[in-house]
């Protein structure tokens, strides 16, 4: 997977930067928790922060004006800010929210589905979100000329496929003829599916439209184990996630060889700022991954770990790096 050209470049020069992106908070956190969290992110090594509610339209602890205000604060702290659209668009209200995101001119917007592509194309700098089905270079080319600046690869893509789709040596050109940046899901529970049905409400025996926001008490989602008690998936409202945290901290050279420019770290309720600092240290000061990962469970970071998708294996598989 590593090309000779890349290896020699690494040996002569400082390591190519792998920027850190804080993905949108996928859980239903109270307003104060969200504001505290982003105050911490402002002082973190993250370069980019993606803001917005992408899972459930009923979650409104922060609304668009709040997200915009938060975005400005993070921008003042030196962060690049991206607004994210909802992953599953069903209603006219959902479409109106995307329209409002398209009308603002302060931030780039990450498209969560084809509705967003239709409403955002050519109007704002566009990030191609991880839930768009871009599985080949031909598909990426189809999306690049919508004004795209960055592509977040689908979660199930292996790194060698990522390199084929947006090759480091001849990247696909996006908005303004600039090379399209590649981002991959490098830390966090993986969003594996979306439904209109809320599985959290279903578990609690309440209707979706009068759910009482029961998911507010699941800061890292609601664990769903197999019948023999093994952690398997996590219910997060209409989204179903892996219980295991995908972690590519030990894959720095493979990530660089695949032309990856930034790593998406998906927030968890506890220990996340330390995870950010650890990624920064390991990636840019050539630290070792294993010792820092061993320390994470004590901080409350969820586990176990998986890195199979990057290697053409089941996503839940874990290989020591």
By the criterion CB under 8 A, which residues form the site for other proteins? 87-92, 94-95, 98, 113-115, 117-119, 131, 133-139, 141-143, 154-157, 160-162, 164-165, 190, 192-197, 199, 201-203, 207-209, 222-230, 232-233, 235, 240, 242, 308-309, 312-316
Q: How far is the CB of 266 from other proteins (least distance, A)?
A: 15
Question: CA 309 from chain center: how many Å?
Answer: 15
Q: What is the 3-state secondary structure (H, E, C) of 113-128?
A: CHHHHHHHCCCCCEEE
Q: How far is the CB of 176 from other proteins (least distance, A)?
A: 21
Helical ranges in the chain per DSSP H: 4-12, 31-42, 64-76, 92-103, 114-120, 137-144, 159-165, 199-204, 252-257, 272-284, 289-299
| Interatomic CA distance for residues 74 and 81, integer angstroms | 7
Q: How far is the CB of 282 from other proteins (least distance, A)?
A: 25
| Interatomic CA distance for residues 275 and 268, integer angstroms | 10
The residue among 48 and 246 lying less far from other proteins, judged by its C-beta, is 246
The residue among 34 and 248 lying less far from other proteins, judged by its C-beta, is 248
The residue among 230 and 298 lying less far from other proteins, judged by its C-beta, is 230
Q: How far is the CB of 138 from other proteins (least distance, A)?
A: 4
The residue among 38 and 199 lying less far from other proteins, judged by its C-beta, is 199
| Interatomic CA distance for residues 234 and 103, integer angstroms | 35
The residue among 121 and 281 lying less far from other proteins, judged by its C-beta, is 121
Q: How far is the CB of 175 from other proteins (least distance, A)?
A: 17
| 262-265/239-247 β-pairing | unpaired
């Amino acid at each position: 997977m590593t090309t000779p050209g890349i290896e020699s470049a690494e040996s002569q020069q400082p390591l190519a930067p792998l920027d850190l992106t804080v993905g949108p908070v996928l859980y239903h956190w109270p307003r104060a928790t969200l504001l505290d969290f982003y105050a911490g992110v402002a002082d973190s090594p993250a370069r980019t922060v993606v803001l917005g509610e992408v899972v459930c339209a009923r979650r409104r602890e922060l609304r668009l004006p709040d997200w915009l205000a938060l975005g400005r604060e993070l921008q003042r702290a030196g962060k690049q800010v991206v607004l994210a659209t909802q992953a599953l668009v069903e209603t006219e209200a959902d479409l109106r929210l995307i329209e409002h995101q398209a009308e603002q001119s302060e931030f780039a917007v990450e498209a969560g589905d084809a509705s967003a592509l239709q409403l955002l194309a050519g109007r704002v700098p566009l990030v191609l979100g991880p839930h768009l089905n871009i599985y080949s270079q031909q598909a990426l080319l189809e999306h690049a000329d919508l004004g795209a600046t960055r592509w977040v690869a689908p979660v199930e893509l292996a790194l060698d496929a990522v390199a084929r789709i947006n090759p480091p040596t001849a990247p696909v050109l996006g908005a303004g003829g600039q090379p399209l940046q590649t981002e991959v899901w490098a830390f966090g529970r993986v969003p594996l599916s979306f439904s209109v049905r809320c599985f959290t409400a279903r578990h609690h025996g309440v209707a979706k439209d009068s759910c009482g926001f029961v998911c507010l008490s699941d800061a890292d989602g609601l664990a769903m184990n197999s019948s023999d008690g093994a952690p398997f998936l996590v219910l997060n409202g209409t989204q179903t996630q892996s219980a295991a945290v995908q972690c590519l901290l030990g894959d720095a050279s493979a990530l660089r060889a695949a032309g990856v420019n930034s790593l998406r770290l998906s927030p968890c309720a506890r220990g996340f700022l330390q995870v950010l600092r650890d990624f920064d240290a390991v990636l840019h000061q050539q630290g070792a991954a294993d010792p820092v990962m061993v320390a994470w469970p004590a901080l409350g970071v969820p586990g176990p770990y998986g890195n199979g998708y990057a290697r053409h294996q089941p996503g839940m598989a874990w290989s020591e790096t």
